[in-house]
């Protein structure tokens, strides 16, 4: 069973930026995309342990700071080598100033 968990306030994440949070024992990346859209993915690269939020966000992708693997923020799809495994994406909803992510209980 999954439930929505508050992970941040909208005002804590500048548009065009991302932050890392820990929720329900998982490292989660929260993205505030241009136009006001919020997204969430795993924050750990599927290729080798690195926090994706320490990397670069551009054109709807996050680039791992360790070996430059890129992932689509909306789908989690691995877009470039050396990563060949996708990352998980999570449903996000905004309630007032709260950013909530749907995570397994």
37-58, pLDDT tens digit by residue? 999 999 999 999 999 999 999 9
Angstrom distance (rounded) from CA 27 to CA 46? 12
Q: Mean pLDDT of all residues in the chain? A: 95
pTM attached to this predicted model: 0.94
The CATH class that applies to domain 2-104 reads: mainly beta
56 forms beta bridges with 63
Question: How far apart, in whole angstroms, are the C-alpha atoms of residue 89 and residue 4?
Answer: 14
């Amino acid at each position: 069973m999954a439930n929505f968990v508050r992970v941040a306030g909208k005002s804590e994440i500048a548009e065009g930026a991302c932050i890392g949070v820990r929720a329900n024992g998982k490292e989660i990346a929260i993205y505030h995309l241009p136009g006001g859209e919020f997204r969430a993915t795993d924050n750990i690269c599927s290729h080798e342990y690195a926090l994706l939020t320490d990397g670069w966000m551009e054109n709807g992708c996050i680039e791992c700071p360790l070996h430059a693997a890129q992932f689509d923020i909306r789908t989690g799809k691995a877009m470039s080598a050396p990563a060949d495994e996708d990352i998980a994406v999570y449903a996000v909803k905004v309630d007032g100033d709260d950013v909530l992510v749907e995570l397994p209980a």
